[in-house]
A and B are shown apart, each in its own frame.
Chain A
Amino acid sequence: MAALGYIEILDGKGGVSERIAVDGFPVTLGRAYGNQVILSDPFVCPLHLKIVQDEQGRLLASDLDSVNGFYPVSGNARVAQSELQSGSQFRIGHTTLRYVSVDHPLAPTQVDGAVKVMPLASPYAAVILGAVLVLLLCLESYLSSVERVTVAKIIGDTWVTVSMLATWAGMWALTSRIVVSRFNFARHVTIACLALLTISALGLVAEWAEFFLPWIPLLWIAGVFGYGLVLAGLVYGHLGSASLLRRRSRLWAAAAVSLIVVGTSAISDFAARSKFSTIMEYTGVVKPIAAAWVPATSVDEFVASADKLKMELDALTKKAKALQ
């Protein structure tokens, strides 16, 4: 006999955790094994609810004098009887249920997000990005060395980062295997490579910007906010391939991780700055560029802007005197 509809047991987030076919009416719901729908909820009575179909074909749910009652989800009041439409939700005990008829309208099919970003999901992307990253790391190792460099040193420096990246991607791949039954290793490598490349680019841009505009602490801003964004992107990306979380949940998770890390570093930075020290902290980035290209202030302006420094020190002194 073909099913007329289904009674769905919903989880806390509204997802279906169990679906019971309804072949005919009446249907009874309760903890007792004689019911068509058996609920293992201790707040549900052995014989709790009965659904009948009247002569007009309407479905009526009636409370069978249960201890904890019957609540249509549309209203919070306990009722003895309520009519059910296809899609109606109701609660008995701590269990939320929904009745749907077989001809219940469905939402349009969603386009799979992974399909849209197919180029980056491909293993080739991981290989190409990995190769770009290795080249960049070699270049960085070479340029940051002020002593004579050897190939072994460059490979050694690069190897450290590459092996850390592989470990990171591997841990996410294992998580993916446990949660979604697929490793998705290439995707995790791609995401980690993208994050590292973005950080590199961000650092480079911030350094040059700070060289040109030394009165704005751009390296600090990039360090805190830029890396915070990259971290959020990293977590969002990894969760996309390693969990069944919806987009909104992934965004929340990414934002939370990023805020915690950025917040912690900002607090420790503030604490370090509040602590007394005889160290001078300043930006001193210089770049190989023709002097004509460097925007510069006059000596007069440099000396005059030191007045602000004096005001800052006067305020610090005042504060220190007040504390003594």
Chain B
Amino acid sequence: MNKFFATRALILSWCVALIIPAAHAQLMPGTTQEIFKQFSEHVVKIEVVETSSAAKASTGTGFFADNSGRVVTNYHVISKLVHSPERYRIDVIDVAGGTTVGTVLGVDVVYDLAILRTHRQPKGHLVFESKPVAQGTRLYSLGHPRDLGLSIVEGTHNGLLKHTLYPKVHFTGSLNPGMSGGPTLTQDGKVVGINVATEGNQISFLVPAERAMALLDKTAKGEMPPPASFLADVGRQIHDNQSRYLAGMFDAKTPRVVLAPYDLPTKPAEFFRCWADAFRRKELPYVSVTHDCSTDDYIFVSSEQSSGIVRFYHQLLSTSELNPARFFTLYSAQLQGGNAAMFGNEEEVTPFRCQTRNVATANGKLKGVLCARQYIKLPNLYDAVFRAATLGSRNAGLVSTLSLSGVSFDNVQALSRRYMENLKWQR
């Protein structure tokens, strides 16, 4: 089960960029060339440089958003500097190869955006599209895929996604690593979105332009906050963002699914995607039915840490062949097996600590396990896994797991409670 989850998370890796123009695209002769020629000088390459070795640690793309030299890019492009400002610097390289040092003016970790300031007066800047863009509109994305030089990728606007934590633009075009933070333009050269992620096969995502405009407004005063304060700001933004998507989750209105004899919560919000399957094999004397719901999206915190993921997983085990002692060997192993597929390192998170109790809910008894770990650099944020196994039956059992990342401990407790109370037996 964790492999499945990890694979999907991996596919949704935070990379960005372009490369292969769609073979079936109906090119208007000269248009792409003209767009590239006209707007490429507003696009910059961003290099995060490790200062002691003077070598680049990561690269991305950005673009000038006003005449004062402010540059828009992704938070994940410059996150190394946010986490360790003493170890990195940002080089902003224009199309002619001129390099200037960029400083961070502000970040929005939820929408994966950052505003940099450079001391270079740009020749011009890009403007944002303020009108809604229709599905099917041809778009042009600019960026530095895999550090191969500035490239332009054609694609189409395919509306706003509903299953993400916030509406992202679905861009049908090939973004590739290194294009993160680059602009995606209409034929008029107006920015509709900022390159942010890809799932491969021309399925790519953009942060809507209005989010960048909002962050530009917030940083309009141009006051430079101290570098160390950004991490606290990142923590605060993740903290504040929780209320938006966790409020009411697993309340009485949550849709239900029946995995007889259990009545269970499913798809609590639009931004969840649910899958189900049954595992029946002739050589096995039991049946396993699974129901898995997860947010498809997450907030990039650092290369080894992500936040904002909510996932829950029901596994119903039943048998008509195994005696209770053998069935419970299997059932215990399922309850104890598997980890949460939560990665991390010693600098960013504590190890997990767990508690186990037999719990009597209004619906029945279950064995409840709550494991949690704390973020070290970001204040008051936790990853948590609540796992329950129903008790009382001799030949059927449900192991249900809820995992949360980057939430307050109050939310860990509140959601564990609501989730537990939502695990019901059919009457």
Contact = CB atoms under 8 A, between A and B. Distances in A.
Nearest to B412: A306
Interface string B366-379: 01111111111000
B376 A317 contact: yes
Contacts of A215: 355-357
Interface string B336-353: 100110111111011111
Contact of A276 (B285, B346, B361, B412): B346
A215 B369 CA distance: 11
Contacts of A144: 326, 329
Contacts of A316: 350-351, 353, 374
A305 interface: yes
B285 A309 contact: no
Give the contact-size bracket for chain A: 35 or more
A138 B32 CA distance: 75
Given A291-B392, A317-B376, A297 B357 contact: yes
A146 B108 CA distance: 50
A305 B286 contact: no
Interface in B372-419: 372-376, 382, 385, 387, 389, 391-392, 394, 397, 409, 412-413, 416-417
Interface string A293-317: 0111111011101101110111011
A296 B332 contact: no
A304 to B, nearest CB: 8
Contacts of A152: none
Given A286-B367, A298-B359, A306-B416, A280 B385 contact: yes
Contact of A305 (B355, B362, B364, B392): B355
A283 interface: yes
Given A296-B357, A297-B357, A302 B368 contact: yes
Interface string B284-312: 11100000000000000000000000000
Q: Which of A143, A214, A282 gathers most chain B CB within 10 Å?
A: A282
Contacts, number: 163
Contacts of B421: 299
Contacts of B392: 290-291, 294
Given A143-B329, A312-B353, A288 B324 contact: yes
A285 interface: yes
Contacts of B278: none
A168 B351 CA distance: 40
A51 to B, nearest CB: 75
Given A277-B351, A284-B369, A306-B355, A143 B325 contact: yes
A163 interface: no
A281 interface: yes
Given A144-B329, A310-B409, A284 B370 contact: no
Contact of A295 (B284, B347, B351, B358): B358
Nearest to A139: B325
A314 B409 CA distance: 11
A298 B413 CA distance: 14
Majority SS of interface residues in chain B?
A: mixed
A145 interface: yes
A272 to B, nearest CB: 11
Interface string A85-105: 000000000000000000000
Nearest to B325: A143
Given A282-B336, A313-B382, A324-B347, A296 B358 contact: yes
Contacts of A302: 357, 359, 368, 370, 416, 420
B223 interface: no
A267 B424 CA distance: 43
A278 B342 contact: yes
Contacts of A279: 339, 352
Nearest to A142: B326
Contacts of A145: 326, 329
A271 to B, nearest CB: 13
Contacts of A296: 357-360, 365
B333 A281 contact: no
Contacts of B342: 278
B351 A284 contact: no
A281 B338 CA distance: 10
A296 B376 CA distance: 34
Contacts of B343: 278
A324 B365 CA distance: 43
A283 B374 CA distance: 21
Contacts of A321: 376
B358 to A, nearest CB: 4
B386 to A, nearest CB: 10
A58 interface: no
Nearest to B322: A146
Contacts of A276: 345-346, 351
A153 interface: no
B354 interface: yes
A289 B339 CA distance: 27
A320 interface: yes
A277 B356 CA distance: 19
B333 A146 contact: yes
B328 A284 contact: no
B376 A320 contact: yes
Q: Which of A280, A290, A295, A296 gathers most chain B CB within 10 Å?
A: A280
Given A286-B367, A303-B416, A143 B340 contact: no
Contacts of B330: 146
A287 interface: yes
Interface in A136-160: 142-148
Nearest to A287: B328
B230 interface: no
B327 interface: yes
A286 B372 contact: no
Contact of B283 (A148, A290, A294, A306): A148
Interface of B: 283-286, 322, 324-333, 335-336, 339-340, 342-347, 349-362, 364-365, 367-376, 382, 385, 387, 389, 391-392, 394, 397, 409, 412-413, 416-417, 420-421
- The 9 closest A-B CB pairs, nearest first, are A291-B392, A288-B324, A282-B354, A284-B336, A284-B335, A146-B330, A296-B360, A214-B356, A276-B346
14 contacts: A142-B326, A146-B327, A146-B333, A277-B351, A278-B342, A278-B349, A286-B332, A301-B357, A302-B420, A306-B372, A309-B354, A312-B353, A316-B353, A317-B375
Interface of A: 142-148, 212, 214-215, 276-291, 294-299, 301-303, 305-306, 308-310, 312-314, 316-317, 320-321, 324
Given A148-B285, A280-B340, A316-B353, 8 more contacts: A148-B284, A214-B357, A278-B351, A286-B328, A291-B365, A296-B357, A299-B362, A316-B351
